[in-house]
A and B are shown apart, each in its own frame.
Chain A
């Protein structure tokens, strides 16, 4: 019997699992794969929290500001490189445009636009889906007072790739930057930049090196040799693009935090249904076990609490058939809120389908939308599966997932 069975290994599921394990609970996290964490930009968006809390039924209405702050501090506790600030901060995307974000790594935060200085964009040879000319144009537009230049570079370890004319994914480059060899090459490049721009020019010019696919965070010194060198110039990270190196290392790091705290990970297993206590009239039912398809056989996993973190339409927690009427939540078959019209003609407008999800009470227990009653007494729904929000236009995906995952873990 587990204290909690978390279904789903995305952001909300991991946060719930790690926090519950940290509280000394016996936790099992069941997940089919690594989920959508590989789409992670490296930045947690919280959005306009106070504004969103005034929207009826928005997940933020389930929490008070203290709950939200606790989640933020938890992220910072597990990833100390993240900075909590009163006002949103800005970072470069891989296109060189500027995006705002609420919780981002220290080495991603952009300098003050009012200052003056020089960005030197390091352009790793053969980096896939990276267009330095576009990036530099965008950077120059965003920072009119700054000089922007580029420096091409190569790494011996990838010589074979380059010779074949094969592009290198940002995940492979990020692995290089995290290795001893990569650190050495970077130190050398940065020294050269320093020599090139500080000799002759006025030495006080502020130079910032910008390096795509760099991920300095989520380093686990119980599994890797420390090899982070201090560079002679500040180096700026850019937010990640799919397949995301930030997501890759963050997912790995969360997994290790979870299992090091005694949590158990069951990967490659799909939760498909549940068993319940024989229901009595007019009472919320209690889930006793989830049924999981492992290879060859079904496993019954007993738990006191179940946390549903399977994601929404994108993450695969909600399945839609060819006929739109066939839409269902895949594990507990929970009732879903589905808007009458799914889409709206303007592509970038808030799309009604984004609001699809499970309605819950204040304890994130699923509700029957028609009768407003709690369906399962010991099931908590977290993350993208919650109804009535839109991560794309409201920009609060990280916030809702972290806050609900953390809050659910407190209920275990």
Chain B
């Protein structure tokens, strides 16, 4: 059965039970959103008859994939919605997105270029973005919410091209796909990750990747997203062919590499799915082979953990919890209280900011209650923008779990 037929079969599998809509974080807060069942399988039948919706209706989906995890019949709901958005974006002259939202989509989708601009003089950019008037202007001209927690820029992560060449010792090399957030907003996390992999005896190659493409896709720019994907796959090709793993520290980049890249029609597209690893998924594999050193120092700290939606969608469980559980002293509690609401750039949009905060309210409450009970002092999560949203919603310090592991290996204080 080819994937097209499979999608059709999955469409027929929809029993109209409405559980996806009942669990959808967006439908919960936005009565105008027709929900995953309506937008996915219901409308799919019309789309099959060439009746297409305009993009603004489809745009309400935040692409968190909760519906796909909820469906008891395995219907690929988000995939259908994304397919419809892709089709609608091709018929752009007919849609009602308007110039302003189109331009906003163009900009928010290009976090990579924003990052490249932002890190030229990070302190200046951050100061400018803190000016209320600037945010008001962004709100009025581009509908980028004046309240949204736009992440600050920092010292960027340098690329580490492969000067020596792959050579023969391929089993001690990895390619690192840092993603735009780590590269431009939180270079430290990337540098720590590279030190950690070095500590474990791995040579880490960081080619000059473009953005994975997910933000472009989420902002309706499918052509550009595919182009980025093919470009990145071409950079990965020699390593993939040599069997070298590609490591991600951002769960959304990771999901894109695993779920979207295999659909691009290139040779390396057939390899990337099996060779892409979330960092902790990779470390757990080392641990199972007995190759992860366990000479941890005690880390006396307690954390709440937020599993990002796009980690759940990868179907690999919570490997970070498994690894951190090996460190003496670390107390960690899996909060797992739903989507943070930000969904990439969704919560930055003026008309969506309030809804995004409402979506995240259950998570914020769980974090606040837990920290007030003294269950933990700070939070940890793999996803950069979840982190930004958690700090915005609760004020509780949040870091990537690699920081905790690096402390245990005495690599950082």
Please report A residues at the B interface, Cβ cutoff 8 Å.
28, 30, 32-36, 38-39, 160-161, 164, 166, 169, 171-172, 175, 221-225, 242-243, 248, 255-256, 259-260, 264-270, 292-299, 302, 315-316
A261 to B84, alpha carbons, bound, how many Å?
A: 42
Given contacts A166-B31, A294-B316, A295-B313, whether A223 and B366 have CB atoms under 8 Å apart is yes
- A255: chain B residues at CB < 8 Å are 336
Given contacts A38-B22, A169-B18, whether A268 and B31 have CB atoms under 8 Å apart is no
A243 to B276, alpha carbons, bound, how many Å?
A: 36
A166 to B31, alpha carbons, bound, how many Å?
A: 7
Whether B369 pairs with A223 at a CB distance below 8 angstroms is yes
Given contacts A34-B69, A267-B69, A296-B272, whether A248 and B316 have CB atoms under 8 Å apart is no
Q: How far does the Cβ of A230 sit from chain B's closest Cβ, in whole Å?
A: 21
Whether B31 pairs with A264 at a CB distance below 8 angstroms is no
Whether B336 pairs with A259 at a CB distance below 8 angstroms is yes
A171 to B337, alpha carbons, bound, how many Å?
A: 16
- A264: chain B residues at CB < 8 Å are 317-318, 321-322
Whether A316 pairs with B74 at a CB distance below 8 angstroms is yes
Residue of A172, A223, A259 touching B365 (CB-CB under 8 A):
A223
15 A-B pairs within 8 Å (CB atoms) are namely A33-B68, A33-B71, A34-B23, A39-B17, A223-B365, A223-B369, A224-B366, A248-B22, A256-B336, A269-B315, A269-B317, A294-B314, A295-B259, A296-B259, A296-B262
- A175: chain B residues at CB < 8 Å are 28
Whether A225 pairs with B258 at a CB distance below 8 angstroms is no
- Bits for B63-88, please: 1 = Cβ < 8 Å to A, else 0: 00000111111100000000000000
- Bits for B311-355, please: 1 = Cβ < 8 Å to A, else 0: 011111110011000000000011111000000000000000000
Q: How far does the Cβ of B395 sit from chain A's closest Cβ, in whole Å?
A: 17
Whether B313 pairs with A171 at a CB distance below 8 angstroms is no
Whether B22 pairs with A171 at a CB distance below 8 angstroms is yes
Q: How far does the Cβ of A32 sit from chain B's closest Cβ, in whole Å?
A: 6
Top-9 shortest CB links A-B: A296-B258, A269-B315, A296-B273, A266-B317, A294-B315, A268-B315, A223-B366, A171-B22, A295-B258
Residue of A34, A36, A222, A298 touching B370 (CB-CB under 8 A):
A222
Whether A248 pairs with B23 at a CB distance below 8 angstroms is yes
- B72: chain A residues at CB < 8 Å are 33-36, 38, 315-316
Given contacts A38-B17, A172-B28, whether A296 and B336 have CB atoms under 8 Å apart is no
Q: How far does the Cβ of B180 sit from chain A's closest Cβ, in whole Å?
A: 21
Of A28, A30, A160, A294, most buried by chain B (CB within 10 Å of CB) is: A294
Residue of A35, A224, A225, A267 touching B315 (CB-CB under 8 A):
A267
Q: How far does the Cβ of B176 sit from chain A's closest Cβ, in whole Å?
A: 17
- B316: chain A residues at CB < 8 Å are 266, 269, 294-295, 299
A29 to B19, alpha carbons, bound, how many Å?
A: 21
Q: How far does the Cβ of A261 sit from chain B's closest Cβ, in whole Å?
A: 11
Whether B273 pairs with A268 at a CB distance below 8 angstroms is no
A224 to B372, alpha carbons, bound, how many Å?
A: 11
Contacts A33-B72, A268-B68, A297-B273 aside, 16 further interface pairs with beta carbons under 8 A come to A32-B74, A33-B70, A34-B72, A36-B72, A169-B18, A222-B375, A242-B17, A243-B17, A243-B22, A259-B334, A265-B317, A267-B69, A268-B69, A295-B315, A297-B258, A297-B274
Whether B313 pairs with A169 at a CB distance below 8 angstroms is no
Q: How far does the Cβ of A371 sit from chain B's closest Cβ, in whole Å?
A: 34
Cβ of B21 < 8 Å from any Cβ of A?
Answer: yes
Q: How far does the Cβ of B17 sit from chain A's closest Cβ, in whole Å?
A: 6
- B163: chain A residues at CB < 8 Å are none
Q: How far does the Cβ of B268 sit from chain A's closest Cβ, in whole Å?
A: 13
Whether B274 pairs with A296 at a CB distance below 8 angstroms is yes
Cβ of B214 < 8 Å from any Cβ of A?
Answer: no
- A270: chain B residues at CB < 8 Å are 74, 315
Q: How far does the Cβ of B73 sit from chain A's closest Cβ, in whole Å?
A: 7
- B262: chain A residues at CB < 8 Å are 296
Whether B317 pairs with A38 at a CB distance below 8 angstroms is no
Whether B315 pairs with A260 at a CB distance below 8 angstroms is no
A358 to B57, alpha carbons, bound, how many Å?
A: 46
A270 to B272, alpha carbons, bound, how many Å?
A: 20
- B315: chain A residues at CB < 8 Å are 266-270, 292-295
- B335: chain A residues at CB < 8 Å are 223
Cβ of B93 < 8 Å from any Cβ of A?
Answer: no
Cβ of B144 < 8 Å from any Cβ of A?
Answer: no
Cβ of B255 < 8 Å from any Cβ of A?
Answer: yes
Cβ of B32 < 8 Å from any Cβ of A?
Answer: yes
A36 to B70, alpha carbons, bound, how many Å?
A: 10
Whether B19 pairs with A295 at a CB distance below 8 angstroms is no
- B321: chain A residues at CB < 8 Å are 264
Whether B312 pairs with A267 at a CB distance below 8 angstroms is yes
Q: How far does the Cβ of A31 sit from chain B's closest Cβ, in whole Å?
A: 9
For B363, give the chain A residue with the smallest CB separation: A223
Cβ of B257 < 8 Å from any Cβ of A?
Answer: yes
- B313: chain A residues at CB < 8 Å are 268, 295
8 Å CB interface, B351-389 against A: 365-366, 369-370, 373, 375
A94 to B23, alpha carbons, bound, how many Å?
A: 21
Of A33, A164, A222, most buried by chain B (CB within 10 Å of CB) is: A33
Q: How far does the Cβ of B191 sit from chain A's closest Cβ, in whole Å?
A: 26
Given contacts A34-B72, A243-B19, A268-B312, whether A224 and B365 have CB atoms under 8 Å apart is yes
Whether A169 pairs with B21 at a CB distance below 8 angstroms is yes
A297 to B317, alpha carbons, bound, how many Å?
A: 13
A210 to B22, alpha carbons, bound, how many Å?
A: 23
Of B258, B317, B373, most buried by chain A (CB within 10 Å of CB) is: B317
- A299: chain B residues at CB < 8 Å are 316
